[in-house]
Homo-oligomer: A and B are copies of this chain.
């Protein structure tokens, strides 16, 4: 009989994104994506989708450059948090406890093998909408904004890493994430991994860093309710001069309907819809994509765009702080 699965991480809670153009980035998230500001502190503005149950899902922090500040996961219980902290410490990955962050209680910070900063917390502040933002239906966190793209909630994020296998093993062993899909090259090297702790088919993904640097970020994704919402988002990005990198199209891996843009600070942002796809099997057998299969491109034949393999944040040494793209005139 196999060992029982670790079920201690409940879900992705929030992401901190760095930007060297904080005001422009804020305008993008609020007026184009349709997010709501729910706090400010220091150099950071806190933002939320209309159905995130926590106070925020995005901490946008003014900084010298772009990239990931940190990613936070919520533990399933205080006991679960304690168990994972022990495991992280045992793995030598711990950075230490922080306290006093807006919107959640004590968080244990740690680093994955590629050096990205992550944290785990349990106590959280449930969002209470002010009168003007109260929803008509009480089972919804906040009123539907009807502004811009209207992102519903944070869905997942994607980091770059030099050694995918090492990171995969780290997340599986210390935190109990399950691998649902992966890319394995002909030489046996892993080139991408999709991990989940929920019934979503992935809560984050890591893909291979092509430039030998560490700790870079690939993209942050928000969930929309339908593929039609993603198409309308493309119309709205076009109207607002937002650079559309690729999509809308359907990924072969995970079958997500996707659309990738860059926010003004240069970080890649995705809006996506998964249809009714869920991974319900507790013993899901990971799907392995070969080099040959990946060469076919996306589900309906779109070739994977070159910048998808090269653009990450922060930019590489020598690259400009923000990409020189200005929407459809690019």
Cross-interface CB contact of A78 among B1, B148, B235, cutoff 8 Å = B1
| Interface 9-residue window, one of A22-30, A130-138, A206-214 | A130-138
**A229 partner residues in chain B, CB cutoff 8 A:** 228
Out of B181, B249, B276, B293, name the residue touching A225 (CB < 8 Å).
B276
Copies in the complex: 4
Asked if B226 and A275 sit within 8 Å, CB to CB, the answer is yes
CB 8 Å contact bits of A292-311 with B (1 = contact, 0 = none): 01001001111000000000
A146 to B239, Cβ gap below 8 A?
A: yes
CB distance from A308 to the nearest CB of B (A): 13
Residues in A174-219 with C-beta less than 8 Å from chain B:
181, 198-200
Please encode chain A, from 246 to 275, with 1 for each CB lying within 8 Å of some chain B CB and 0 for all others: 111110111101000000000000000111
Q: Is A80 an interface residue (CB 8 A)?
A: yes
Q: A296 to chain B: which residues have CB within 8 Å?
A: 328-329
CB closest residue in chain B, given A152 = B276
Stretch of A3-11, A88-96, A103-111, A163-171 on the interface side: A3-11
The dominant DSSP class at the A interface is: loop
Which of A147, A226, A285 has the most chain B CB within a 10 Å cutoff? A226
Give Cα A330 to B297, complex, Å.
11
- Verify B139–A282 contact, CB threshold 8 A: no
A285 to B141, CA, bound (A): 12
Contact A300 B234 (CB under 8 A): yes
Question: CB distance A10 to B282 under 8 Å?
Answer: yes
- Contact between chains at B301 and A244 (CB < 8 Å): yes
* Chain B residue contacts of A143, Cβ below 8 A: 239
- Contact: A248 with B300, CB < 8 Å? yes
| A/B interface sample: 23 pairs, CB < 8 A | A2-B78, A4-B77, A5-B76, A10-B282, A11-B282, A51-B277, A53-B284, A74-B281, A77-B282, A136-B327, A137-B238, A139-B255, A146-B147, A146-B239, A155-B276, A223-B276, A225-B227, A227-B227, A227-B231, A234-B299, A245-B301, A248-B249, A296-B328
7 further A-B pairs in the complex, CB-CB below 8 A; given A139-B181, A152-B277, A274-B276: A2-B77, A75-B282, A126-B285, A136-B239, A136-B241, A226-B275, A296-B328
